[in-house]
A and B are shown apart, each in its own frame.
Chain A
Amino acid sequence: MVLVLALGDLHIPHRAADLPPKFKSMLVPGKIQHIICTGNLCIKEVQDYLKSLCPDLHITRGEYDEETRCPETKTLTIGQFKLGLCHGHQVIPWGDLDSLAMLQRQLDVDILVTGHTHQFTAYKHEGGVVINPGSATGAYSSITYDVNPSFVLMDIDGLRVVVYVYELIDGEVKVDKIDFKKTTATTHSAH
């Protein structure tokens, strides 16, 4: 029952002022155990806010991030799952499944979380999951202005992960769920 929040591409304060109020009201401290952030927050204040939601915060560096010390990619193990994190502007073509799968193999993770496209996508691919949480603020991307605010909440429970997608469509929060089961248990390797 480990809850992991995945979000990114907030672009605060350049492209958006803040998270949508409906999202903010849902995100209360105490419920979530980990937060993974794909990048492009951009400022420290947003980082502090996320830290207040949960102390365990992982960020990778996006191209507009003002915090320069974050890594480009990150891997972590939660429960039985290995998670990989990357902003995604490094992977060309942006948002391409095969390229992202390459990255996934490279990082050797079960779940790869990337962003940059500001579009929510989730693929089940080769025994792994590739997730793009989209933009939590609905900020415009390099490609398009038509962006719905969205983020992802993963519920990791043993060998099963349930991915809840929260999207703000027409002012309403829509939730969707994706189930994913892992076939083999992970052997924990020292990091």
Chain B
Amino acid sequence: MDNPLSQNPDSTWGRFFRNAELEKMVDQDLSRLYPEHGSYFQTPGCQGMLRRILLLWCLGHPECGYRQGMHELLAPLLYVLHVDVERLSEVRKLYEDHFIDKFDGLSFEENDVTYNFDFKKFLDSMEDEIGSHSNSKKVKSLDELDPEIQTIVLLSDAYGAEGELGIVLSEKFMEHDAYCMFDALMSGAHGAVAMADFFSPSPAAESHSSLPPIIEASAALYHLLSIVDSSLHSHLVELGVEPQYFALRWLRVLFGREFSLQDLLVIWDEIFTADNSQLHRDSEDDESSSFKILNSHRGALISAVAVSMILYLRSSLLATENATSCLQRLLNFPENINLKKIIVKAKSLQILALDSNVSSLSSTFGGAYNCSKSAVVRGHSLSSDSVSPKTPLSLVPDSYWEEKWRVLHKEEELRQNSVGKQTPSGKKRWSEKVKLSLSRTESDPSPARAENCKKGHRSSIRRSLLEDLSRQLGLEEDAEKGGCLGASNSEDDHCIEVLVEGDNCTNKESICAAEERCESGSGTVVSDENSSIFSEPASPGSGTNDHENDTEKSSVASNLFIDENDDHQQSNLEDSPLPVSLPPEDVSLNSLHENESSGKMVSAMKERRHLSGRFQWFWKFGRNNVGEETSDKGGTNEAAKSPNHDCKRQVIESVFQQDRCQVGSLDNFSKNILVGKGQVTAMTALKELRKISNLLSEIV
């Protein structure tokens, strides 16, 4: 028997109590909705409408129930409707005489079209009109009216009390419209991305991973980020910042909490104009591992917006040392932002996102490394199915990498002319094929340029060095940027070093490619070289001295300055650091030591070798100490220290500057070269450099 205290969950009383709970939750949320726009949102009319819509929808979808955040999806929709209606009535009032109430030669078909209006799209366009209000003015004829108002007036021309526009924008039906819009948004309207999924705690029925959709979507974000900016991605992963910590809020409310209402509406315009229909993947694709969210243009755009937001905060994120501060920055998105920039970037990332989802990923969502690795491979070879998704990169044949290198090189050549353009890291270069204009934040270095500076190609470098000696001393201002580049150059050198030592890779062709690249990039190389000198002195303080490395370095140095020993160069150029120098590095690093120590070694080596190389160059021109080339590194360092205090100071300053101003150049340079696995080495390199600069500061 149905009684109020019935324990039966299906009883009417049970439902009554559950509904009462629901109402309570909804009321609680609504009372706290948009207090800064309380003049509209806290009015009883608006609150009542929101309450009814939410309750009705939740009762109609008992499997979803009500979750906090749904109200924040609904509120802007209602707001837009309200504003539109208000605007229409405003215009009506001002220009009453123009609103004629009879047919104005419009054919029936046109009228019918309005009945099939897609509310969302129309309202988006209306919103653009409303976005720029015009002052009211006395007008005699329709033509004098502002074009927006003209549109409004013309659209209203029809018979019927409210006119055509009135059918779409009607005060009476605001609630109904809002409900429909909300329902479409939540259920996805037969598209791929349904917001309701993001609120459900259980995995979706047809999801391939056994994760709740929001976790999957967050993983998709990180996946995209790893393609676009792998070092930031690895930095975040290293700190232990799981994507869902911030992505949960971002995605569930479609960034409602990150932007102000007006900005949010702009972003939503972009998102909602993107088509939400399910993109059909080829059946050959591994169905078990594509991201659901990326299955439509809209989903891809949403992920792209999120990633572009992360990239917007790039410099501050890279500067954080622990997960808490990282999350703090992510969750407190700055107020005054260049929204256009974010949107433009998002649009470019959207294409990438769609492409990245074409090829499937490894099913290990936790394995960011694997994902990024395979993603890179996929990102580049969009049409190649030869490599299965789960193949670890180390099994990829060497020729594959050569090929990639060559392709890469060709791209780079094309891009050499645009000096001013800041290109992302080498890894990104591949994806840049797809992503044409990526406007990066100021923190971006020019790793492409850095990559170009293959020290292996001594001839061209030396030539350019000689030419630009005079510029060197005056390149203070370049030090900042150049420092990182220089540092990255050092990285390159060391990479070569490592590879030489490792001698497991024999990609001569890639060497040639590198040489060609160097030639073309000589101009930039010079400035890098020059400024690299400033960063050089940073390394002498490094504690770890390795004799075998010294000899190597000195030998390279001698190459650099004394002669062009092509053979030597060749060997040095062996496997010049690939932008995604994973396998060679892996191999070589493995050959040296275990990863950690090798990383340290590598970084230390890099710095020191670079230093010795640079110092020697410097001396050659400044002091003619040619004979130092083969001297022990330590000796070089000591000797080098005293005469170069000044430039050291400059270097230190510039290094510190880089550190401080969050250009993240140190991070950048490490990022440039060391991708994925190199993250370890990146961090160690970073630490080394920091140690060095600290030591130097003590000295100076």
Contact = CB atoms under 8 A, between A and B. Distances in A.
Contact of A26 (B5, B16, B17): B5
B4 A3 contact: yes
A155 interface: yes
Interface in A5-50: 25-27, 30-31
A164 B3 contact: yes
Interface residues of A, number: 14
A117 B3 CA distance: 25
Contact of B5 (A1, A27, A176, A177): A27
Contacts of B16: 1
A33 to B, nearest CB: 11
A166 B1 CA distance: 11
A175 B17 contact: no
Given A1-B16, A31-B17, A155 B5 contact: no
Contacts of B336: none
A44 to B, nearest CB: 25
B283 interface: no
A31 B21 CA distance: 11
A133 to B, nearest CB: 14
A155 B3 CA distance: 10
Given A1-B16, A31-B17, A153 B4 contact: yes
Given A1-B16, A31-B17, A175 B7 contact: no
A147 B316 CA distance: 75
B1 A26 contact: no
A176 B1 CA distance: 8
Contacts of A30: 17
A30 to B, nearest CB: 8
Contact of A153 (B3, B7, B17): B3
B226 to A, nearest CB: 48
B56 to A, nearest CB: 20
A31 B4 CA distance: 8
Nearest to B1: A175
Interface string B256-300: 000000000000000000000000000000000000000000000
A166 B3 contact: yes
Contacts of A153: 3-5
B9 to A, nearest CB: 14
A26 B6 CA distance: 7
A175 B4 CA distance: 10
Interface in B1-21: 1, 3-7, 16-17
Contact of A155 (B4, B6, B7, B17): B4
A26 B5 CA distance: 6
A92 B597 CA distance: 97
A32 to B, nearest CB: 8
Interface string B213-230: 000000000000000000
A30 B21 CA distance: 10
Nearest to A27: B5
Interface residues of B, number: 8
Interface string A113-139: 000000000000000000000000000
Interface in A138-183: 153, 155, 164, 166, 175-177
Contacts of B17: 30-31
Interface string A88-131: 00000000000000000000000000000000000000000000
A166 to B, nearest CB: 7
A66 B141 CA distance: 89
A177 B3 CA distance: 8
A1 B3 CA distance: 12
Contacts of B6: 175
A123 B697 CA distance: 96
A26 to B, nearest CB: 4
B4 A166 contact: no
A164 B5 CA distance: 10
B340 to A, nearest CB: 51
Nearest to B21: A30
A27 B3 CA distance: 12
Contacts of A155: 4
A31 B3 contact: no
A144 B17 CA distance: 38
A77 to B, nearest CB: 21
A25 B6 CA distance: 10
Contacts of A27: 5
B572 to A, nearest CB: 77
A166 B5 CA distance: 9
Contacts of A166: 3, 5
A174 to B, nearest CB: 9
A27 B5 CA distance: 7
A23 to B, nearest CB: 9
Contacts of B7: 25-26
A6 to B, nearest CB: 13
A75 to B, nearest CB: 24
B211 to A, nearest CB: 34
A31 to B, nearest CB: 6
Contacts of A25: 7
Interface in A45-65: none
A27 B4 CA distance: 10
A166 B6 CA distance: 11
B525 to A, nearest CB: 74
A138 to B, nearest CB: 18
Interface centre among B3, B6, B16 (most CB of A within 10 A): B3
Contacts of B5: 26-27, 31, 153, 164, 166
A166 B16 CA distance: 20
Interface string B368-401: 0000000000000000000000000000000000
A177 B4 contact: no
Contacts of B4: 3, 31, 153, 155, 164
A161 to B, nearest CB: 13
Nearest to A3: B4
A177 B1 CA distance: 9
Contacts of B1: 175-177
Contacts of A1: 16
Contacts of A26: 5, 7
B458 to A, nearest CB: 81
Interface centre among A3, A31, A166 (most CB of B within 10 A): A31
B21 to A, nearest CB: 9
A114 B200 CA distance: 50
B477 to A, nearest CB: 69
A154 to B, nearest CB: 10
B28 to A, nearest CB: 15
Nearest to B17: A31
A139 B7 CA distance: 25
A26 B17 CA distance: 14
Interface centre among B3, B5, B6, B16 (most CB of A within 10 A): B5
A164 B1 CA distance: 10
A36 to B, nearest CB: 16
B16 to A, nearest CB: 7
B3 to A, nearest CB: 5
A141 B114 CA distance: 78
A26 B1 CA distance: 14
Contacts of B3: 153, 164, 166, 175, 177
**What 10 A-B pairs are tightest by C-beta distance, nearest first?**
A26-B5, A175-B1, A164-B3, A175-B3, A3-B4, A153-B4, A155-B4, A31-B17, A153-B5, A31-B4
Given A31-B17, A164-B3, 5 more contacts: A26-B5, A153-B5, A166-B3, A175-B3, A176-B1
7 contacts: A25-B7, A164-B4, A164-B5, A175-B3, A175-B6, A177-B1, A177-B3
